[in-house]
Amino acid sequence: MTWTKGWTSFDPNNQEYPEPEKILPNIIDSDLYLKNDTTYLLSGNVYVINNATLTIQEGTTIRCNVENVASLVVTKGAKLLAKGTKGFPIVFTSNKPKKNRKSGDWGGIIIAGAGKINSPSASKIIEGNFLPQYSLYGGVDEHEMTTIMTYVRIEFAGKKINQSKELNGLSLYALGSNSIINNIMISFSSDDSFECFGGNVNMHNLISYKAKDDDYDFTLGYKGQLDNILAIRHPYISDVSGSFAIEADGYDKKEGFLISESLSSIHIKNATLINLSNQSNYKYTTAAVSSKNLANLNIVDSQISGFANVVKFDKTYQSYSDLQKYFSLENSVFNVHSMSIITKHKSKINGDQILKYNMYTNNFRNAEDLFTDPFNETNPKFTLKDSENYTVMQ
């Protein structure tokens, strides 16, 4: 994957970062430009409000406070322009010294847009203990532009708020189609790496590295396309509630939805979803994909390896025709150690039929046996070593 070279870091705990020189204000109510010759400290909740634009120059480092837990909240109407480059990425990371950083050191980045959600309420409140006057998101502008983020790394985020709620590395609320999200790496998030709450922004070149909870989470009627996404998980890193490379929710079951056309619909191409499991620890893995509440998910030209199952469906999928209608995996390879499909329906559904024309391994294989260099801490490679032991599902 040549697109991962030059801007990523697969060993961020050993990365040297300069000490902060300037503390960002907690309220940014007019346009602000952050320069790469200064290292900034994000301390506490920092809100971009009043239709202001926060612009971050390529190569800028923002250290995020652990003691006064930091989060960046881009409120509805405001903008974040974080345009890094391959040679000079923008980095949000813990302010702890190297070798002392851990997942959940700080909160995360929250971006609130005015795009569509499929809740009966046209707008909602972002998750977390944030000031209510700065917490609204959602609207009717499906073409809105709230952010441009390119070549950005987000490390050690996902701070726990309480027993049932944690922040994500990057939370995208109702972003419209003119927002740009590409070449983003999120490492060691204590909750989800990426979560999309409605909206219809397309994204590409995304990396989730060793997240504790889900790598990519979609809900509230998100509709979009993702191209070139990578999730690298470890069997010993998981949330007690169960964690997946992809979790897709068609709607919020507490609120329901208005029309079936508003259900989440996610199209993914060139996904590499990897759990670095082997024969000694694969029992700690779960499904690669969790599909719930009639989410529509299409995955093509991808590889899934190291998980117990390819996909787990909840009870809203009540028949084989539902599985066919709402899920497809095409022209892909999978390597799992248990049933490829799990359904909650009482009657027997032969779910394997929806995986036909994909290739699979005859026997579960360790990551190092299947891929060229999966444990490389500079630039891991997930090129398949050979295709002799694969079978095409008929």
Alpha-carbon span 288 to 169, nearest angstrom: 20
Residue from 112, 117, 114 nearest 47 by CA:
112
3-state secondary structure of 131: coil
Residue-level length of the chain: 394
What is the C-alpha to C-alpha distance for residues 222 and 201, in angstroms, rounded to an integer?
Answer: 8
Within 81-209, residue ranges assigned H as helices are none
Per-residue pLDDT, 256: 84
In a domain, 112, yes or no: yes
Predicted local distance difference test score (pLDDT) of residue 391 = 79
**Running DSSP on this structure, what letter comes out for residue 24?**
P
- Residue 65 domain-assigned (yes or no): yes
What is the pLDDT at residue 140? 93
Pairing of strands 246-249, 53-56: unpaired
Q: Are 360 and 340 in contact (CB under 8 A)?
A: yes
Question: Residue 279 burial by CB count (10 A; 0-12/13-18/19+): exposed, middle or buried?
Answer: exposed
- Could you tell me if residue 388 is inside a domain? yes
pLDDT score at 162: 67
Please list, residue by residue across 291-319, b when 16 or more beta carbons sit within 10 angstroms of its beta carbon and e when fewer do: bbbbbbbebeebbbbbbbbbbbbbebbbe
Nearest CA among 262, 272, 280 for reference residue 299? 272
Q: Is residue 279 part of a domain?
A: yes
Q: Is the residue at 88 inside a domain?
A: yes
Enumerate long-range contacts of 390-393, CB under 8 Å, 24 or more apart: 390/333, 390/359, 390/360, 390/361, 390/362, 391/359, 391/360, 391/361, 391/362, 392/357, 392/358, 392/359, 393/352, 393/355, 393/356, 393/357, 393/358, 393/359, 393/360
Rounded to whole angstroms, the Cα distance separating 206 from 216 reads 10
Task: For residues 71 and 83, give the distance between their C-alpha atoms in angstroms, rounded to a whole number.
Answer: 19
Burial class (CB in 10 A: 0-12, 13-18, 19+), 260: exposed
pLDDT 10s per residue in the chain (394 long)? 789 999 999 999 999 999 999 999 999 999 999 999 999 999 999 999 999 999 999 999 999 999 999 999 999 999 999 999 999 999 999 999 999 999 999 999 999 999 999 998 878 999 998 999 999 999 999 999 999 999 999 999 998 776 567 899 999 999 999 999 999 999 999 999 999 999 999 999 999 999 999 999 999 999 999 999 999 999 888 877 779 999 999 999 888 887 889 999 999 999 999 999 998 888 889 999 999 999 999 999 999 999 999 999 999 998 888 999 999 999 999 999 999 999 987 656 666 788 988 999 988 999 999 999 999 988 899 999 876 667 776 5
Residue (of 176, 81, 73) closest to 134 by Cα position? 73
As given in the structure block, the two tokens for residue 149 are 């983020």
5 lies in a domain? no
Range of the domain at 216: 23-392
Task: Evaluate whether 190 touches 166 at the Cβ level (below 8 Å).
Answer: yes
Whichever domain contains 185, its CATH number is: 2.160.20
Task: Tell me, yes or no, whether 127 lies in a domain.
Answer: yes
Q: How many domains does the chain have?
A: 1
263 domain residue, yes or no: yes
228 sits in the region (left: phi over 0; alpha: psi -120 to 50; else beta) called left
